[in-house]
A and B are shown apart, each in its own frame.
Chain A
Amino acid sequence: MLVGHRTWEFVQKPVILSTGTVAGPFEAKGRIPNDFDTLHADLWLGQDSFEKAEKVMFEEACIKAVEKAKLTLNDIQFIFAGDLVNQLTPTTFAARTLAVPYLGLFGACSTSMEGLALAAYIVNSGGAKYVLTGTSSHNAATEKQFRYPTEYGSQKPPTAQWTVTAAGTAIVTANGNGPFITSATIGKIIDMGLSDPYNMGGAMAPAAVDTIEAHLKDRNISPSYYDVIVTGDLGKIGQTIAYDLLQKHRIDIAKEQFRDCGLMIYRDDQPVQSGASGAGCSAAVTYGHLLNRMKKGDWKRMLIVATGALLSPLSFQQKETIPCIAHAVSIEAE
């Protein structure tokens, strides 16, 4: 249970029973299309708004995870999920369709691991048999929410990141053959005074470093315990900063051991500037690509550090700086 300041160790070893991942057309052209369960050719998913498209995408990811686990929606006790749209509209409306008890979470792009940590905690303490957790993001719905209209011809700087159109869900349960959720560290808000919403990686990097440090200290382990430490969506710049910052803090971590979900999803020739971001990014990459690599035996222990920039369009316009957070969850094969 609680070890150190802010880390839970899960003694019952809850497992990720199954996952569901859905992505859009731009992700289908990316680096890891085979790791998604469903790919859509149409950004609208046949809906008449992008918010509805995101809702459908999240529903599909939930249903996929339930199907793969050979369960029905009635078996799921709770859904812990969130997204980036105002009032968690897509997730809440998806929960209406799914008719499963639901808790909405907002941690921006860190929601994926926030949900997984809470799901593991609830399952570990006997609060539920099956918990479904996941997040989604839709490029156009998020751009509309946080930035300019999608078709507006503004020039994005090289530090900008591309919001992924993807949803990722996982079903957490008490017994199974793994992958096991062994621990989780809850992040605290770190604000280094950066206010550029086009440089979220730079703003979020210290939060990721803080959570990684806290996690290692609380569990009293060295970074080499993990085969891979994956940050959520720091992108090129944020990831470089985080790596250098870890070195500066004398945390001995190898370059090939330190990766980023935001740098895995797209090819180098896709025009995404600094990489991918969005709540769906870490969820879809973790529940798709990373767990598949674990199943293949590439890695035995991984630490996922999902980072979130908790800004709002209002706080940005009022010249507030960006508060950032990172939650870490360790997933081990045995």
Chain B
Amino acid sequence: MSDQKKKNLTPVQQEYQKFASEREIKRPIVKNCIKAFFVGGFICVIGQCIQTFYYTFFPFTEKSAGDPTVATLIIASVLLTGFGVYDRIGQFAGAGSAVPVTGFANSMAAAAIEHRTEGYVLGVGGNMFKLAGSVIVYGTVAAFIVAIIKTLFTEWGGL
């Protein structure tokens, strides 16, 4: 907790929070990181296999095989979400299943399934980007800033 936040707490609250945090089960961060590394890596290996499959057996180049690969992973993720498997993988893998494109697909499919009872327009359509929306917004903002920095360097930096 930040010091700023702590300042607003009464001494009784501070004492209790210390008392409580001593008894709290902490997130196993190292274990979670290792699991995330291997599961995330495994998902990427599957992705690589799919990509290799596409440019070996279909008329794709190594570069153009990326699109059908992502599409395949998204379909797989959406199906796993629909069958109620992806959230279990997520509990085990944490960031490992959240960071790859499958996690993004999961967040959209999960929200779409969840709000289906409210109808296709206001329910599914309106809520599909409930979680994914901020990824798109801040992804775009980040890309914009990075692009400006790159432009500044290449145009005036002479790199």
Q: Which residues in A have some Cβ–Cβ distance to B below 8 Å?
A: 48-51, 144, 148-159, 191-194, 199, 202, 205-206, 236-237, 240-241, 244-245, 248, 271, 274
Contacts and interface: CB of A to CB of B under 8 A. Distances in A.
The majority secondary structure among interface residues of chain A is loop
B114 A153 contact: no
B98 interface: yes
* Residue of B25, B86, B103 most packed against chain A (CB within 10 A): B25
Contacts of B13: 191-193
B42 to A, nearest CB: 15
Given A151-B106, A155-B32, A192-B17, A271 B91 contact: yes
B113 interface: yes
Contacts of B131: 148-149, 152
B97 interface: yes
Interface string B7-23: 01110111011011001
A244 B23 contact: yes
Given A155-B32, A155-B94, A192-B17, A241 B23 contact: yes
Interface in B1-53: 8-10, 12-14, 16-17, 19-20, 23-28, 32
Contacts of B110: 148-153
Nearest to A151: B110
Given A51-B117, A153-B89, A192-B13, 15 more contacts: A50-B117, A151-B109, A151-B113, A153-B81, A153-B87, A154-B90, A157-B27, A192-B16, A193-B8, A193-B14, A202-B23, A236-B25, A237-B25, A244-B19, A245-B19
Contacts of A244: 19, 23
Contacts of B24: 159, 199, 202, 237
B154 to A, nearest CB: 39
Given A193-B9, A206-B16, A271-B91, A149 B113 contact: yes
Contact of A158 (B25, B103, B115, B130): B25
A155 B91 contact: yes
Contacts of A245: 19
Interface of B is mostly: helix
B84 interface: yes
A50 B115 CA distance: 11
A245 B103 CA distance: 41
Interface string B77-89: 0000110101111
Contacts of B130: 149
A240 B23 contact: yes
B17 A155 contact: no
Nearest to A206: B16
B74 interface: no
B69 interface: no
A154 B86 CA distance: 9
21 contacts: A49-B117, A151-B84, A151-B113, A152-B87, A152-B110, A153-B89, A153-B97, A154-B90, A155-B93, A155-B94, A158-B26, A159-B25, A192-B16, A193-B16, A206-B16, A237-B23, A237-B24, A244-B19, A244-B23, A245-B19, A274-B25
B73 interface: no
A153 B130 CA distance: 14
Interface in B98-143: 98, 103, 106-107, 109-111, 113-115, 117, 130-131
